[in-house]
Structure 1
Amino acid sequence: MIFSIIILFFEHLNAQKYDIFIHELLKQNNWFALEKEYPQIQDSIKTPELKWLTESLLNIKFNQNEAAISSIDTLLHKYQQNIGFTNSVELFRYKISLLAYQGEYGFIAGELKNFIDQVSENLPQEELKKFEEMYNFYNSLRNEEKTQVIKPEKNIEIPFGTIEMDFTSRKDEDTIHDMTSALGVVKIFIQGKEYVFILDTGYETTCIFNNTSKNINLHYLNDSINISGTGISQGNLAILDNISLGEVTLYNLLIVVSDNFLEKSGIFRNENINDYIDGVLGIDFIKRIGEIQLYPSDKKIIIPQKESELPISGRNIILDERNNIIVKAFSEDDLITFHLDTGNSNSHMFKSYYLKNRNEIETTLEKKLTYSFGVGAIKSDTIYQMPSLALLIGETFFSLKNIPIYTVDYFMEDPSADGSLGTDFINKFSKITLNLNKMFIQLKK
């Protein structure tokens, strides 16, 4: 990861007091503390490359793409020798991913071509091959239009429903576990036809299931990708000419086409899950809208004409390396972070939380066997059951009940957080405001 490389480099600096302080926060990946402290002391930082690096990473984490690209460019153009070759390569990767979100495919291809020409002799062959594949991919998109968002100048109300799914886990022919899960769903219109999608803030790229894709005109790309979740499945990339949520329409959206992981798992008792669910509306769609307001009890979503003001409590979400939304919360005085995952029915704690609190958990909590499903797999896990956890998010206090604490990775690679907030969390509140421009989540009971 870039952060370990950066830290190794800055260990050799003759740093002043504030430089050391910022360096330690970077070392801890403590983005919320860094966001609070950095503006107060930035003029006192003596090492310019440390200052620009901090600004670059904060801009990335808090979804300020233009500012992030600008600060990365400053680092690469003015301080490349100071930060070293490996750091420069990693920052360049970040820049490419930000430009890709903006749809600057032709510009990216040019940047990659120049980069490969300049550094090919210094890169390991495996690494060089990845950059060459990246160049070929973006070069093939050179003539594609950028993604555009069109929405009317008014508040837009959209129905928000819940679908219950019954599933059974079996070993040999014996039933070992029955369970009902509930997920939030929305109606989507594609090329004039109505479909039902899971609203999933834990899914990086909007996905159309194979069975549904047969009825949709898609521009398929040559590249296939791995989709990571509780397991791994494969999908294909395609460009969708239009997709609408209510009166909000996205044009030329890069999407994934894959098997319906719910049906493929073979654990659902519903007659035919493909009759219910056509795809997944991911975080890429929600980011482009900017703000959504969920009203679970009223079964609606509002996309406001005017975005909400930043609450007094400030920004309390960031994006990690895979665009997972990470929420800042407090348990008493302790900072605790959660992955916001509306595509998961139940909240839980990750292995990282278990390892931090292992002694207390093992001596006070009950051990159980549980089952989880998702992209690519269904699996059984040993967990500890926490009766309750009191939390503060923003200015709202609440409690989670009967929370599983996983002792192994829940996903193939868990997000950088202590736990995950699922649909059960969403249903606790009368209104949830999620703003990915100003980077906050606000809860109302």
Structure 2
Amino acid sequence: MPWPTRTRKTAKTGKMKRLFNILIVFALTLPIQAQETDSLVAACLNQSDWFRLQEVYRTDSSRISPFLRLFSKAMLNHFLGRPKAAVNTLRQLLRDYQGELGSSNLISLVAMLGQNYSLLDDNKQAAAVLQNLVNAYKDKIDSTSLAPYVARQHNYRGLSEYDLYQAEQPKTIYQIPFKVQEVGDSAQSLFFADGWLNGHKGSFVLDTGASYNVITPDLAAAYGLKTIDGSVLAKGIKTLEGQTAIAESLQIGDLRLRNVPFVVLDLQKGDRIPAQALAPLKLIIGQPLLRRFASCTFDFTQNTLTLHADSTVSSNLTDLRPNLCFTSGGVLQVNTGDGRRHYPLVLDSGATTSWMGPDYYKDHTADVAREGKWDIKGGAGYGGVSYTSQFVMPQITLTIGETTFSMKQIPVITMSTEQNNIDGGAGRLGNDFFHRWQQLTIDYTRMTLELK
């Protein structure tokens, strides 16, 4: 989610780590090699390390105990963007291993099942799954803990009344021109595409790091979007609650869609950023729309976003393993290495600059302290402003797949005044990273990032 002046990215990240407190005592009866493999799998799950887990699963699947094998398969299907397969494996996991899961994990997995039904546009079934969950636990846990699932159930029910994202003129390729435009007086830029929403002209931020399509309350009212029951939570500096609203029509470039959901959020709530600085940031196109296509290509030679109905990765890359995954909040991470370790960096065209996070700092403390220049910077996101302690490194060299590149004057965040999901983790690749390439292709079918 874009912000002017020392951008900090908002992303709804989940509560998955509590899901993966996997106990593998049962594995003690297995051969030593199987115990070791199970321990490695459990570590990957607890760390939400999907890239490492896919390698372990690919090479040692036969050595993983049946429960953790199925659990791993379900997580990989979910986080590697395969909702149909995720539904099947989650249903099998919930059916065959309720005893091993425990109530907390079971609740989280049922919620995940509902999410995948929704990704398949079966919101009626998603609502039924959540309704069954609420009915089963309404007398077992307190209403406050149950409230998010009730809200989600209502939201799915409201969405089920619409045929979402219906193309008016179906095509195999859609072209969306965009412009690189400064935000406020920040001297920092974002990608904007002109378009129409319910017949009203608007300028949309193209934001690969946004969990939702977003609209502000004033525009939602002025443009006549229809709100539905239920709510969603957007986590940034602080957590904000928003309602889903349906736009009858959306046009950007030659893409024309009907029944497009947006989350209505007050971007100024809790912020001390001047209103004029936020004025351009009222309409945001995020992952919910982008991931409906097989792939999308940012072409910076022509300033055009191309949405493809079919996968476009070159045929000689058919055996390439995924280097993209989704977070539990629905934004993309790319598997990035530095020669020592790999880091899942959020791929975020809605952040004006890139940075490395505390996870990177912990692995490179001595190097960063020796080579970096210390500073304190302020940044804004949903719900407020945070200040970070950071070192600006003269250069960091990274690798994605077979492509190696260097980022100059890149901040490394050591800590933040707020416990939030923006400044934490391994870091982000913002639109300064996007600008480095002539073309950047996100393939949602193969979950690969191709750079040219």
With normalisation by structure 2, the TM-score equals 0.85
Q: How far 1:304 sits from its partner (Å)?
A: 3.2
Instruction: Trace 1:176-325 onto structure 2 (pairs within 5 A).
Output: 179-261=186-268, 265-267=272-274, 274=279, 276-309=280-313, 311=317, 313-325=320-332
* Deviations, residues 173-198 of structure 1 (Å, cap 9, x unaligned): xxxxxx41111111232234432111
Which residue type is aligned with residue 43 of structure 1? Answer: S
Distance 1:415 1:406 in 2: 7
Aligned to 2:57: 38
Aligned to 1:174: none
> Does the 8 Å CA contact 1:339/1:415 hold for their aligned counterparts?
no
Q: How far 1:31 sits from its partner (Å)?
A: 1.3
Q: Percent identity?
A: 20
Aligned to 1:74: 92
Which residue type is aligned with residue 382 of structure 2? Answer: V
Distance 2:234 2:16 in 1: 23
* Deviations, residues 75-130 of structure 1 (Å, cap 9, x unaligned): 11122123333322221111112222333232233333333333444434433444
Distance 1:136 1:238 in 2: 13
Aligned length: 429
Q: How far 1:426 sits from its partner (Å)?
A: 0.7
In structure 2, relative to structure 1, the CA distance for the partners of 1:411 and 1:317 (3 Å cut) is farther
Instruction: Trace 1:324-363 onto structure 2 (pairs within 5 A).
Output: 324-363=331-370
In structure 2, relative to structure 1, the CA distance for the partners of 1:222 and 1:37 (3 Å cut) is closer
> Does the 8 Å CA contact 1:292/1:434 hold for their aligned counterparts?
yes
Instruction: Trace 1:9-158 onto structure 2 (pairs within 5 A).
Output: 9-14=23-28, 15-16=30-31, 17-18=33-34, 19-20=37-38, 21-45=40-64, 47-149=65-167, 152-158=170-176
In structure 2, relative to structure 1, the CA distance for the partners of 1:158 and 1:136 (3 Å cut) is closer
Higher strand share: 1
Which residue type is aligned with residue 313 of structure 2? Answer: E
> Does the 8 Å CA contact 2:113/2:126 hold for their aligned counterparts?
no
Q: How far 1:413 sits from its partner (Å)?
A: 1.7
Instruction: Trace 1:161-176 onto structure 2 (pairs within 5 A).
Output: 161-167=179-185
> Does the 8 Å CA contact 1:183/1:344 hold for their aligned counterparts?
yes
Aligned to 2:415: 408
Query: Could you say what secondary structure the match of 2:243 adopts?
Result: strand
Distance 1:264 1:5 in 2: 32
1:436 to 418, 422, 444: 444
Higher relative contact order (CA 8 A, sep 6+): 2
> Does the 8 Å CA contact 1:149/1:289 hold for their aligned counterparts?
no
> Does the 8 Å CA contact 1:350/1:414 hold for their aligned counterparts?
no
Unaligned runs of 5+ in 1: 168-178
In structure 2, relative to structure 1, the CA distance for the partners of 1:101 and 1:313 (3 Å cut) is closer
Q: How far 1:28 sits from its partner (Å)?
A: 3.6
Alignment RMSD: 2.8
Q: Does 2:396 match 1:389?
A: yes
* Deviations, residues 4-56 of structure 1 (Å, cap 9, x unaligned): 554442244324424424334334432112212313332343x3221110100
> Does the 8 Å CA contact 1:207/1:280 hold for their aligned counterparts?
yes
In structure 2, relative to structure 1, the CA distance for the partners of 1:283 and 1:166 (3 Å cut) is same
Aligned to 2:8: none
Query: Could you say what secondary structure the match of 1:407 adopts?
Result: strand
Q: How far 1:149 sits from its partner (Å)?
A: 4.5
